Amino acid sequence: MGTTQGKVLRYGRDWGEAIFQTVMGIRGLMSFVEDHSNEFFTDLKLRDTKIIIDGYALFHRLCFSSDLDLQYGGDYDSFADVVQKFFESLFACKICPYVVLDGGCDISDKKLTTLKDRAREKIQMAHSLSVGSGGYVCPLLIREVFIQVLNRLQVPFVQCFSEADRDIMTLANHWNCPVLSSDSDFCIFDLKGGFCPLNSFQWRNVSTIKGTGDRYIPAKCFSLDALCRHFSNMNKALLPLLAVLCGNDHVNLPVVETFLSKVRLPPGAAGSKGRRHHRVLGLLNWLSHFAGPAEALNQVLKQLPKKSRGDVRELLCCSMEEYLQSQVKLQDFFQHGAYSCPDACGLGLPQWVLAALARGQLSPFISDALVLRRTILHTQVENMQQPNAHRVSLPIRQVIYGLLANASPRLEDTSGNAPPPQPLAFREVERFHKNIKTSIVAAVELPKDHCDLSRLTELSVASRQALLLEALKVRPAVLDPVPASLKLPIAVSCYWLQQAEAKVRLHHLQALLLGMLLGPLRTVAHGPGRCPGIPGFYIRGNHRVIGVSGSTALGPFSLDEAGQRWVGALALCEELQGARAPPGPGLDLDAAHTFCQWQCCLQMGLYLNQLLAAPLLEPDLTCVYSGSLAHGLCRRLLTSASAEGLLRGCPEAQQLYECLIHATRSCAPAELFLPKSKSNSKKKRQKKQGSSGSKNRVGAISDMGNWYEGGNRFGLLMVENLEGCMEASELA
């Protein structure tokens, strides 16, 4: 493979897995135990059981191991297909999944240093991808897409208030079922049902038990007992100390390095692969000589200067407590729809906020802003020489911060970090060139009736929608003709056109809007059921139409006329699918940065809409953006194709596109739609005639649509009040 994606794969999924494991849990432990899989793992035929899934680990694993686009900003439709197939494999084996997602950072913000290190690593990875080399960076909205798929498949899930590991362990032990994750912390937890690593969970290889027909997923299960037996029957209670001495997400102290440089590790450790394995194996051998953690901890402290022993003891003990059972009972949420989190209850937050966080209806970004007044803005595959793409959405974030600024008096000075200098200020960790910086951002001061977070959802839908659209700088009338499922993306696009720092060109906008047609087109062209407009014909697969039966109450139809509409939708769908940019060198950094800015606007528009209890319908993100499609369409529109030419064979799609381009034009800079060169009168006449013909076609289609009220699958591509949109058709 000579492509960029090929380079990523040639560096290997093992490389990506190693990168992922280094930022999850205990350094070197997972690779160590997997190198000794015969000693520490047992083979499982997993079926007919509950399983607790670490959601953060799962969506990263599926994103990085499924040959998905990572260079163009994310093919969310392809990712959603992979997620759906994963859960279908579980359902086929009667495995009942319960997904547990991390929430925001806890009130101590003790992982901030680790999170900053990860942010720096992600910047280097994103830069590598942007110049055509390998790398692993999750697209910006991957988590939101994952949650949407869970909702669509009705997979039970919960979002914890902060980090989920202890809550996962506690729930799994309550139900006596295994945990599925990539996090090596689960090698330390004493799990009754065991720990199944994701990289040996063969969900793509569902097998059948001979003679019974029962289906199962081959997996491996880590045995903590086997690990302890291998090291002289060591006490399990010593393993949390192993975690903090190896270095985990919470502890990375120079004084620990001082201890390791002084202690004499038992012989034989140097034979293992790499320094990390040397450390893990040496520490396991060393710890196995102690009866319990107190004795071993005293020996650690003896190697340190006396003045630092007290502080180090306190930190190490607190870190070891992270491996104890949680007080949270997630089973209450899965059984009754609510649960109590002691850490959250003590903050005095509104009940509706806690409930929305648990259901994944509010993002951890909101939780971090609310609890810590500190957020982290994740880097995308963007132009590193340009200002970070999140700058364009700053005014939206300031409105979000304004809504959260006075949430609870108990939140004041709760974080161990120094509070921002102004009462309405928030900290943002963001990319600055190829490093990170922390910026102070002032929240917007909002009217009094919007300042009480506890009563925000009591405002009328009209009031909440007005605040949302004011933040997005869009007049309500602009969105009136737009279908409900696209109102928020179009409102965000209007905002983006007004605020974008990178220069937006017409083909960028056209590519985004054409991409928004693909979801409805796929439903029309490839969905199961009756072929639209052809009585008695049924679609099976992508191309075959079979099974003629008699006439219907609607009377006879012209097969050519009605069938042509379906054929047009199918052809356009395949044309757009074929327009996707292949992975490889030659990424257009200007287009990439422009689309990154648009995604930042969509992300914050989505979060603000969620915080306002969804005054606009939340869009299906898999139908809104595909990075490879947007980049591929940009290339076509710059070379051989025009938007009007692409849509000519499907009038319904052209009708919707013209409505969307008209809505966005009202907010775009005037020069965006200026012709590249002065048009002669003949071209103008042709364009005018084309516009008139388009109006006539739309009128005819609208008449046909009335014959199928409620049953026309082309209704997915129809919009209301289209007469007012048609004036803009020549702009496409």
Q: What is the DSSP string of 447-459?
A: PGGGT-GGGGGGS
Helix, strand, or coil here: 486? helix
- Nearest CA among 671, 645, 666, 647 for reference residue 657: 647
pLDDT exceeds cutoff 90 at 556: no
Question: What is the predicted pLDDT for the residue at 113?
Answer: 86
Proportion of the chain above pLDDT 70, given as a percent: 79
Nearest-angstrom CA–CA distance, 65 and 82: 10
Helix, strand, or coil here: 95? strand
Question: What is the predicted pLDDT for the residue at 106?
Answer: 83
For residue 502, the 8-state DSSP code is S
Nearest-angstrom CA–CA distance, 512 and 125: 25
Question: What is the predicted pLDDT for the residue at 176?
Answer: 97
Question: What is the predicted pLDDT for the residue at 686?
Answer: 46
How far, in Å, are 46, 568, 569, 570 from residue 527 at the CA level?
Answer: 32, 15, 12, 11
Question: What is the predicted pLDDT for the residue at 524?
Answer: 76
Q: Quick: pLDDT tens for 379-405.
A: 999 999 999 999 999 999 999 999 998
And the tokens for 301? 């402290």
Q: Give the domain ranges of the chain.
A: 12-236, 470-529+563-672
Highest-pLDDT range among 168-182, 265-279, 417-431:
168-182
Question: What is the predicted pLDDT for the residue at 258?
Answer: 72
Q: Quick: pLDDT tens for 116-165.
A: 999 999 999 999 999 888 889 999 999 999 999 999 999 999 999 999 99
And the tokens for 500? 């974008």
Q: Quick: pLDDT tens for 580-625.
A: 998 777 899 999 999 999 999 999 999 999 999 999 999 999 999 9
pLDDT exceeds cutoff 80 at 410: no
553-556, Cβ contacts within 8 angstroms, sequence gap of 24 or more: 554/707
> Which CATH code is given to the segment(s) 12-236?
3.40.50.1010
**For range 416-422, the mean pLDDT:** 55
Report how far apart the first and last C-alpha atoms of the chain are (Å, whole number): 37
Nearest-angstrom CA–CA distance, 325 and 338: 20
How would residue 671 be classed by pLDDT, with cut points 50, 70 and 90? Answer: confident
**For range 25-40, the mean pLDDT:** 89
pLDDT exceeds cutoff 80 at 559: no
Q: In this predicted model, which residue has the larger pLDDT, 519 or 292? A: 292
pLDDT exceeds cutoff 70 at 312: yes
Nearest-angstrom CA–CA distance, 395 and 401: 10
How would residue 716 be classed by pLDDT, with cut points 50, 70 and 90? Answer: low
Q: Quick: pLDDT tens for 78-105.
A: 999 999 999 999 999 999 999 999 999 9
Stated as kind and residue range, the H or E segment containing 5 is: helix 4-11
Question: What is the predicted pLDDT for the residue at 514?
Answer: 96
Question: What is the predicted pLDDT for the residue at 719?
Answer: 47
pLDDT exceeds cutoff 70 at 684: no
Nearest-angstrom CA–CA distance, 403 and 456: 9
Question: What is the predicted pLDDT for the residue at 249?
Answer: 57
Question: What is the predicted pLDDT for the residue at 25?
Answer: 77
**For range 338-352, the mean pLDDT:** 91
Question: What is the predicted pLDDT for the residue at 681?
Answer: 42
Question: What is the predicted pLDDT for the residue at 251?
Answer: 58
Question: What is the predicted pLDDT for the residue at 502?
Answer: 75
The whole-chain average pLDDT of the chain stands at 83
Question: What is the predicted pLDDT for the residue at 423?
Answer: 65
Question: What is the predicted pLDDT for the residue at 315?
Answer: 87
How would residue 368 be classed by pLDDT, with cut points 50, 70 and 90? Answer: very high
Nearest-angstrom CA–CA distance, 443 and 396: 10
Stated as kind and residue range, the H or E segment containing 706 is: helix 681-706
Q: What is the DSSP string of 387-413?
A: PPGGGGGHHHHHHHHHHHTTS-GGGTT
| Least confident interval from 181-185, 223-227, 678-682 | 678-682
pTM: 0.86
Q: How many CA atoms lie within 13 Å of 400's alpha carbon, on the beta-carbon side?
A: 30
Q: Are 65 and 59 in contact (CB under 8 A)?
A: no
